[in-house]
Structure 1
Amino acid sequence: MEKSPLVKKIVKYLYGIFAAGIVLLILLFFLISSGVLGFMPSFEELENPQSNLATEVISSDNILLGSFFQENRSRVEYSEISPNVINALISTEDIRFYDHSGIDARGLMRVLVRTVLLQEESSGGGSTITQQLAKLLFHTPAKSKLERVVQKLKEWVIAVKLERSYTKEEILTMYLNKAPFIYDAYGIKSASATFFGTFPDSLKVEEAAVLIGMLKNPSLYNPVRRPDLTRERRNVVMHQMMKAKHLSKQEYDSLRLLPLDLEFKRTDHIGGLAPYFREYLRMTLTAKMPERSDYASWQNQKFIEDSIEWNNNPLFGWVNKNLKGDGSRYDIYRDGLKIYTTIDSKLQSYAEQAVNNHLAYDIQPKFSNEKRGRARAPYTRDLTAEQYASIIRRAMQQTDRYRILKSGGMSEDSINIVFKKPVKMQVFSYRGEIDTVMSPLDSIHYYKTFLRASLFSMDPLTGHVKAYVGGPNYKHFKYDMATMGKRQVGSTIKPFVYTLAMQEGLTPCDLVPNVPQTFYLPTGQTWTPRNSSNKREGEMVSLKWGLAQSNNNITAWIMKQYNPQAVVNICRSLGIKSPMDAV
């Protein structure tokens, strides 16, 4: 039966519309691929996609001490990722990953029919892993539905280009290194450490399922805040793994009953081993070339010390002295540097524990008991009320709260009112942080009662620093007593004095008189150093004995043989930069 002219005309028009649609679609993708309709990554950008990588600080025994980061992301290779992670990801996100070239036609049809036409919310998405990677690498969150549609089309094009440039294993690795989680964890390595305290190659099936399940919505499937919901999502992932034959029915039935069993530890710049050392390292690496105008009037010595460091210490200002291949400066928060240090993680842990125990269980209780009930504690009774008030006032002016209020134009009277108003806060104690209500001014009084201590351990044969503790708790006491604190040198000057004696020809076995030595001061007064005991006083003793006993008479005798300037010179030659008067 011959078709009527009208039917032929309709069919002709339909074919024309279909052909025009195909042509328009091809044209659209050509325009997208050419970058006419907005940003499209170049070949070089596809070959070298940019990711913010954390800089890792590593101990001498290859333990991660901490990181400097904008996004806490550390790269891993495909061989360093557990097959459980790969199987969970492909089973859940892109079951035909190895069969397509960036776009899954069957997945798109499922979305078109079930999601668009039938309005089924649980039908799943159509984005392949490669498309998701394209979104992570090159797109920011869309501001409108129309912008998201355009982004989606671009992701199809980018996905195809990625498939041409990389192997499937490389795409999986890039995706898992780029994937964002929560709690400052970016990428599978950081997520493994944050939620399970392990490495990606050691993740169990149930742990891998938790992390892959979180990718759908990390905030919603938060294992710390929503463990029950996350456990359900984990079981969905394992069910998909069972459907893909990566798990047997018996394995699935057993694993789905397990608890989450988290080992949650959020990574930040404050926690972890050696926080004072890491901050010292950060400040040293990022130091700028010293300019006198950048220092306060009273910081002349600091300017001199920094200038010497800039000229003689390759590490001081490293990021500003060294350029990358493209001529740009290094960024310790983005460039994924690895800094290998001489710190021994075990010695560092013991040192931090030793400082804490010494303060918490010995010195601090005795000090607190001795000062209890005193009007101007923890300071001496000889301090006047005006002097004490001046100390507290200076401490208040050094706080961020004061500087912010002052820069905002608030008057001194108004600032005082703010500092006397109780607010909720967390304060330090050796039993753990305390949630309390306290005025900022009272908190200053409170923190003044805590003693500080530091520990600096060095290998005498190599000069390598093995442990570095700048205080009792970096979160609450950021002032670094190890390198920022200035104290009287005391008896630690004596080895330098004896070095001068050896350099001038004396030997450890030479005998000298153990008698008091008197010095005449420029003021016309005299000064005679004393010892804590009169052991062997009046006898001839060896220099070796004098140094071993830290005897002041023998040190003073050496000083008299030469002069104070000679001692200053020997100290300078050995690297001491602190101010020293030749007296």
Structure 2
Amino acid sequence: MKQSFFELLERLKVALGRVVNSSFRHQRAIRIALLAVAGLLALIFLFVGLVWIGLFGHVPNRTELRTIRHQVATEVYSADSVLLGRYYLQERSTVPSSAISDNLKNALIATEDARFYQHSGIDTRSLFRVFIKGILFQRESAGGGSTLTQQLAKNLYPRQSHAVFSLAANKVKEMIVARRLERVYSKDEILTLYLNTIPFGDNVYGIKTAAERFYSVPVNKLTTDQSAVLVGMLKATHTYNPRIFPERAKGRRDVVLEQMEKYGYLTEEEKTSLQKRPLKLQYQRLTHNSGLAPYFRSYIQNELLAWCQKHQKADGTPYNLYTDGLKVYTTIDSRMQRYAEQAMQLHMKILQKKFVAQVDKRSVKNAAAAKLKFMPRYVSQKREGLSEKEIMADWKKGGLRKVFTWDGEKEMDMSAYDSLVHHLQFLQAGILAVDPHSGAIKAWVGGIDHEFFQFDHVRETTKRQVGSTFKPIVYASAVEQGVSPCDYISARKTAYTNMEGWTPENSHDDTYDQKYSMEGGLAGSVNTVSVKLLEKAGIPNAIATARKMGITSELPAVPSIALGTPSISMLEMVGAYSVFANGGNHVEPTYLTAIAEGNGTVLEQFDVKPKPTRAVAKETADIMLHMLERVVNEGTGASLRSRYGLRNDIAGKTGTTQSNADGWFIGITPKLVIGCWVGADDPAIHFRSTSLGQGASTALPIVGGMLQQMNKDNTLRAVTTARFAPLSPEVAGKLDCSMARSDRNFFQRLFKTKKKTKRTTFRDR
């Protein structure tokens, strides 16, 4: 018994020892765990402190946050306050809170941050989950814990790379910035900032641009279901892009509507009704090349860039055209611009089919071979030492390429060389409309499609032969030199012996036996009469008159200028014709009226008051205007009346150059001068038929179509119903003669003898 008792005591002693030892070990483990937690917390606080002081990149303070500026596109506006287009690096524009509906804000909160109004920038409920999944396990997809304010911080200050500390450092920085944002801005201001900065896919930034891109409406016109589609995109802008994946986008929209119902922003009936709606986009691709007047916007871009360099913001730095959200106001009239573009597209689509059927394929290939030598890719390959055979092999490799067609942009399997040949065959067009009294440019169409053909056929550096559109300048010079409008001039062929027998010819054989007054010679565009009038006026005088009318291009002192052989820009020609509508005065063209900051503060107001200079006498201008009216009423421009049914007061002149390479028409109304040119980029590619290739068939229809549309627009009645001032009795008397009479005597008419070509010397006064 005694032994058993002592054995029991011994066992108890051992057991107690084990318990004591175990207790000591647990206490030690707890101490170690507490020390580890304390150390970890210390490291976290140290890490946060290091981020706070900027060791992992600059953290903006409250002062900086109060003056937040993000990249905003510069907007270009017409004279009638219509947005023409934008200049941008990222397609972004902003709207005030008042333009954003409550439904849009509620959709955003319900989907992205349901406790938005309860937290102060950081939602502590989800912070632990983000800490475990995101920071400890380095999962980029952890998400879920970022509030709208944190997401705004990330949008305003994009994440930076810090090796293994990247995610942790960026998350902490976003939390710090979020808390500061909440102290600087109200909740509504944060929502507005967020919606103005968030990316929506397709290189679109901000809710204003997204609404315009996907639904073609201003933000305040977005419906609840449309708002849900755009908010739904924010989860994954590509995956839920309604243009690319409509079914996914619709499913995501319905999730957003579910969330809105869940948090009391919609009733169940409203949600169900909205979910039944189809996903219907009105997608509008607003790129640098889209919108109205892209050639015009490209033309003024360099001038605006130069302006930005010369003008400084409040902080002393120059303005940035692409990021500072400027507003540029121009003289362009959006209605006229739209009608010009529409008339061009309608006519050119039809004309192109006729052109392709006529064009010489060899001339296209020759033009392509010549153009190829100047292509950057070809030049680079030559510089690298590739042989001609190697270069051509590369150029003729097949592949998918976007090409222009009049049925829309298409993706075709063709080589780069074939693409070059394809695009060279397209006819181009240039259209310019100007107020002749102020010089204000109202419409500018530089080509058929700025995306594919960026060469501008209106700007002063683009010059083409002008053909018979130069004749009114010669006629005006003759009037200025004292030639009477009723002096009859023989249209007989003349071989000028001092010019190697040069013999101007007319387009119709039945004109040679006539004598024409100025009015008749201009209405019929009689070449032989124009040359003889140039002789009477004198080449130097004709050139001097052209200079005073605003033509600065080279004008060779040769008789052929009477037939329009000089190459002159559309800007110059329309400016010259404006002289006839402006009482003989020339005014320089204008196109900018003001530049303002995004908030409307005007930075510069441009002087648009015309500064007229006398080009020709008022009487000369009146005479020329009357004669050009006869061109439209009875001459080469008569189809404006017969085909297009125009009853406006219109004067004008057609023009066609050698081999039908260029077709022109310049029309004059009391308050608008419209010039149009049509031709291929390479003059070697042209119509073979003059009936199709002449200006009356190529260029005039575009002006006619534009005026037709303007006549239907009651808001333009002040322009379309304007009338030319009547001629004074004295001027009318000087024009009181028939347009033509026979150049044969009685016996020549009786026996139908043919008059021989006269041989003479060109006498230049």
Shorter-chain TM-score: what band? 0.7 to 0.9
Counterpart contact for 1:189–1:200, Cα < 8 Å: yes
Residue 26 of structure 1: CA displacement? Answer: 5.4
2:461 aligned with 1:488, yes or no? Answer: no
**Residue 542 of structure 2 aligns to which amino acid in structure 1?**
V
Q: SS where residue 119 of structure 2 aligns? A: coil
Counterpart contact for 1:183–1:266, Cα < 8 Å: no
| Residue 552 of structure 2: aligned partner | 577
Residue 525 of structure 1: CA displacement? Answer: 5.3
Matching residue within 138, 148, 151 for 2:157? 138
2:212 aligned with 1:223, yes or no? Answer: no
Output aligned runs, 1:243-282, within 5 Å: 243-282=262-301
Counterpart contact for 2:296–2:446, Cα < 8 Å: yes
Counterpart contact for 1:516–1:529, Cα < 8 Å: no
| Residue 336 of structure 1: aligned partner | 325
| Residue 384 of structure 1: aligned partner | none
Residue 24 of structure 1: CA displacement? Answer: 6.3
2:85 aligned with 1:85, yes or no? Answer: no
| Residue 542 of structure 2: aligned partner | 567
**Residue 492 of structure 1 aligns to which amino acid in structure 2?**
T
Counterpart CA distance in 2 for 1:528 and 1:102 is 84
Compared CA separation, residues 497 and 194, structure 1 to 2 (3 A): same
Counterpart CA distance in 2 for 1:528 and 1:563 is 17
Q: Report which of the two structures shows the higher radius of gyration computed on alpha carbons.
A: 2
2:227 aligned with 1:179, yes or no? Answer: no
Counterpart CA distance in 2 for 1:526 and 1:262 is 64
Compared CA separation, residues 244 and 504, structure 1 to 2 (3 A): farther
**Residue 572 of structure 1 aligns to which amino acid in structure 2?**
R
Compared CA separation, residues 116 and 22, structure 1 to 2 (3 A): closer
Counterpart contact for 2:239–2:245, Cα < 8 Å: yes
Counterpart contact for 1:184–1:266, Cα < 8 Å: no
Residue 491 of structure 1: CA displacement? Answer: 3.1
Counterpart CA distance in 1 for 2:266 and 2:235 is 21
Matching residue within 164, 169, 194 for 2:213? 194
Long gaps (5+) in structure 2: 1-19, 559-765
Q: SS where residue 376 of structure 1 aligns? A: helix
2:344 aligned with 1:367, yes or no? Answer: no
Compared CA separation, residues 141 and 92, structure 1 to 2 (3 A): farther
Counterpart CA distance in 2 for 1:512 and 1:29 is 96
Matching residue within 424, 445, 450 for 2:421? 445
Output aligned runs, 1:140-539, within 5 Å: 140=159, 142=161, 146-286=165-305, 317-361=306-350, 363-371=351-359, 376=362, 389=366, 391-483=367-459, 484-497=461-474, 500=477, 511-515=486-490, 523=499, 534=511, 537-538=514-515
Which has the higher mean CA deviation after the structures are superposed, 561-570 or 336-345?
561-570
Output aligned runs, 1:20-169, within 5 Å: 28-109=47-128, 111=130, 125-140=144-159, 142=161, 146-169=165-188
Counterpart CA distance in 2 for 1:454 and 1:249 is 57
Counterpart contact for 1:514–1:553, Cα < 8 Å: no
Residue 547 of structure 1: CA displacement? Answer: 5.7
**Residue 236 of structure 1 aligns to which amino acid in structure 2?**
V
Residue 74 of structure 1: CA displacement? Answer: 0.7
Residues 24-59 of structure 1 deviation map (CA, whole Å, 9 limit, x = unaligned): 665554443332443212444322334222222222
**Residue 356 of structure 1 aligns to which amino acid in structure 2?**
Q
Counterpart contact for 1:521–1:527, Cα < 8 Å: no
Residues 317-357 of structure 1 deviation map (CA, whole Å, 9 limit, x = unaligned): 43444444444443322222222223333332322232223
**Number of residue-to-residue matches in the alignment:** 533
Residues 1-28 of structure 1 deviation map (CA, whole Å, 9 limit, x = unaligned): xxx9989999999998888877766555
Compared CA separation, residues 433 and 150, structure 1 to 2 (3 A): closer
**Aligned residues: percent identity?**
38
**Residue 334 of structure 1 aligns to which amino acid in structure 2?**
T
Instruction: Report the TM-score when normalising by structure 2.
Output: 0.61
Residues 68-106 of structure 1 deviation map (CA, whole Å, 9 limit, x = unaligned): 221000111111112221111111222222232222223
Long gaps (5+) in structure 1: 287-316, 379-387
Counterpart contact for 2:78–2:84, Cα < 8 Å: yes
Counterpart contact for 1:46–1:162, Cα < 8 Å: yes
- Aligned-residue Cα RMSD (Å) equals 3.9
Residues 256-305 of structure 1 deviation map (CA, whole Å, 9 limit, x = unaligned): 2222212223332233332322322334444xxxxxxxxxxxxxxxxxxx
Counterpart CA distance in 1 for 2:142 and 2:89 is 36
Counterpart CA distance in 1 for 2:340 and 2:73 is 26
Which has the higher mean CA deviation after the structures are superposed, 341-350 or 493-502?
493-502
Q: SS where residue 487 of structure 2 aligns? A: strand
Counterpart CA distance in 2 for 1:167 and 1:256 is 32
Counterpart CA distance in 1 for 2:285 and 2:555 is 45
Compared CA separation, residues 22 and 502, structure 1 to 2 (3 A): farther
Q: SS where residue 412 of structure 2 aligns? A: strand
**Residue 453 of structure 1 aligns to which amino acid in structure 2?**
A
Residue 223 of structure 1: CA displacement? Answer: 1.9
Counterpart contact for 1:512–1:554, Cα < 8 Å: no
Counterpart CA distance in 2 for 1:425 and 1:366 is 25
Residue 113 of structure 1: CA displacement? Answer: 8.4
Instruction: Report the TM-score when normalising by structure 1.
Output: 0.79
Residue 134 of structure 1: CA displacement? Answer: 0.9
Residue 186 of structure 1: CA displacement? Answer: 0.9
